[in-house]
């Protein structure tokens, strides 16, 4: 009897797989020949530009993406209110190494959330450290000085995000920790694996420090960091002067943009695919995260063009305020909890528009095993990495029983050339790689929609 069941089931399984294979081929054909994502991204980058939360660019991006999603044929498209912090950079920053009679200009940018310097700038001696753990031993030397956090991203890590995670902790915590020892300002080495002249911004936080202890914090380009370090070895008494005009302006109203199509069989089970609509203000946020925004929109466009209506409810969510607060993801989860919604799957693209290599999952053991079984179906498209790990900052807050969360994992080697820097512009995007990422996302959404998740 067991043998008979085996011979009956094998052809059925082969037929099912062959149907999946055919669908994945059609998804990729659609993405590579009919995509609208590159055009959407062109508009976001070149017609709207930087989209920092609370800015005019962010508001324009909300209205533009909603209007484009309205055209795609969702059952409904709506805006979800989110209160976001408004931080403005002000006039362009300047910085100089003062070494005796010489005055050498170096590229810097204020870190997001930092206070400004005095109107005439801040001048002080510099003390160089590698890590936060170096500060206690230097406590009696820090007061009245600028702390220079010269912590390079570790080049040995094959996945560049592993290096970013460690160095990012120094960027985030450095100013508040240095302030506790009486530092008057901080400079951190840009989070970038290559040597260049572009400073990279990013968030920092003062924690529970009183406002009187908030000190200005900036990032210096990697070439600038190398030069400053070299000159400090030659003259530990040199000074550094920098000026920045940034300020926080409270909270303002913004929105997540959401498109929804109800599931044909399970309307109460929700799948989310998304990216974050906001970007830093030094460039137009093409890779971070304009790419993820248009790829998420493309997932639905691909399904619609193929005549495929998901069994489960599908939402495309363009989150606001990932870069300097994460308010969009938190608000989405708060509303979902208030409504008692059941989310079975969430997928985020926030690692750039490079060639997709796989996915990173937050899932139970049973569900991770089920996700890993899709590797054979996706490997013909060079999607072969199925790891456990962080899925995405915007979907991280989302809580639901037995939910599977996933992050698209593109090739990481070039991402930090552009991340949070003036180089993150539309011309850094490869159209084909962007489209392959959208196809990878649509493929995974389709497989989960068809085969669900483990109970």
Return the active site residues: 322
Cα–Cα separations (whole angstroms), residue 11 to 2, 259, 448 = 15, 38, 22
Distance CA 132, CA 282 (A): 27
φ, ψ of residue 177 to 5 degrees: the values are -70, -40
Tell me which residue of 99, 107, 141 sits closest to 123, measured CA to CA: 99
Are 199 and 219 contacting, i.e. CB atoms less than 8 angstroms apart?
yes
Cα 21 to Cα 25: distance, rounded to the nearest angstrom: 6
Tokens of 415: 């991402």
Angle at 162 between CA 410 and CA 442, to 5 degrees: 25
H or E stretch at 4: helix 2-34
DSSP 8-state secondary structure symbol assigned to residue 48: I
Classified as helix, coil or strand, 308 is coil
Cβ proximity of 43 and 277 under 8 Å: no
Q: Among all chains, which residue has been given the structure tokens 């690692």?
A: 351
Distance CA 294, CA 291 (A): 6
The alpha-carbon radius of gyration of the chain (Å, integer) is: 24
User: Which residues fall within 8 angstroms of residue 266, CB to CB, at 6 or more apart?
Assistant: 311, 312, 313
> 378 Cβ partners below 8 Å, 6+ apart?
24, 358, 384, 440, 443, 444
Q: Are strands 356-362 and 102-105 parallel, antiparallel or unpaired?
A: unpaired
Reading the block at residue 15, the tokens are: 């037929």
CB-neighbour burial class of residue 235 (10 A; exposed 0-12, middle 13-18, buried 19+): exposed
* Tokens at 56, concatenated: 């005019």
CA dihedral sign, ordered 331, 336, 337, 338: positive
**Residue 317 CB contacts under 8 Å (≥ 6 apart), including other chains:** 256, 257, 258, 272, 273, 274, 296, 332, 394
């Amino acid at each position: 009897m067991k043998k008979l069941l085996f011979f009956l089931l094998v052809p059925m399984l082969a037929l099912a797989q062959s149907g999946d294979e055919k669908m994945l081929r059609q998804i990729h054909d659609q993405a590579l020949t009919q995509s609208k994502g590159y055009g959407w991204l062109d508009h976001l980058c070149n017609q709207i530009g930087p989209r920092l939360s609370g800015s005019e660019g962010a508001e324009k991006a909300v209205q533009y993406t909603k209007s484009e999603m309205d055209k795609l044929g969702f059952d409904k498209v709506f805006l979800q209110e989110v209160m976001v912090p408004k931080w403005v950079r002000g006039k362009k920053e300047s910085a100089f190494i003062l070494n005796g009679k010489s005055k050498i200009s170096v590229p810097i940018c204020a870190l997001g959330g930092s206070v400004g310097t005095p109107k005439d700038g801040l001048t002080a001696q510099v003390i160089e450290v590698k890590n936060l753990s170096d500060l206690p031993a230097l406590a009696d030397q820090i007061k009245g000085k600028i702390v220079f956090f010269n912590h390079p991203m570790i080049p040995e890590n094959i996945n560049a995000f592993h290096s970013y995670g460690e160095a990012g902790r120094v960027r985030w915590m450095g100013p508040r920790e240095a302030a506790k020892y009486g530092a008057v300002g901080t400079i951190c080495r840009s989070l970038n694996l290559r040597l260049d002249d572009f400073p990279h911004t990013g968030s920092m936080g003062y924690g529970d420090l009183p406002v009187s202890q908030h000190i200005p914090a900036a990032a210096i380009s990697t070439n600038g960091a190398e030069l400053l370090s070299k000159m400090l070895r030659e003259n530990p008494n040199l000074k550094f002067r920098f000026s920045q005009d940034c300020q926080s302006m409270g909270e303002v109203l913004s929105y997540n943009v959401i498109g929804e199509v109800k599931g044909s069989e399970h309307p109460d089970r929700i799948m989310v695919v998304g990216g974050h609509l906001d970007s830093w203000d030094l460039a137009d946020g093409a890779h971070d995260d304009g790419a993820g925004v248009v790829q998420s929109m493309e997932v639905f466009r691909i399904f619609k063009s193929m005549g495929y209506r998901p069994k489960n409810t599908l939402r495309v969510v363009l989150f606001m305020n990932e870069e300097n607060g994460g308010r969009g993801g938190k608000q989405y989860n708060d509303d979902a909890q208030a409504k008692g919604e059941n989310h079975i799957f969430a997928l985020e693209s926030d690692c750039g528009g490079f060639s997709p290599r796989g996915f990173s999952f937050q899932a139970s053991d049973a569900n991770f095993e089920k996700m890993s079984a899709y590797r054979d179906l996706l490997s013909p498209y060079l999607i072969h990495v199925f790891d456990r790990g962080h899925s995405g900052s915007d979907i991280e807050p989302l809580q639901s029983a037995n939910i599977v969360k996933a992050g698209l994992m593109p090739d990481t080697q070039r991402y930090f050339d552009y991340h949070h820097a003036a180089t993150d512009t539309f011309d850094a995007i490869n159209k084909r790689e962007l489209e392959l990422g959208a196809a990878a996302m649509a493929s995974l959404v389709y497989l989960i929609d068809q085969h669900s998740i483990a109970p």
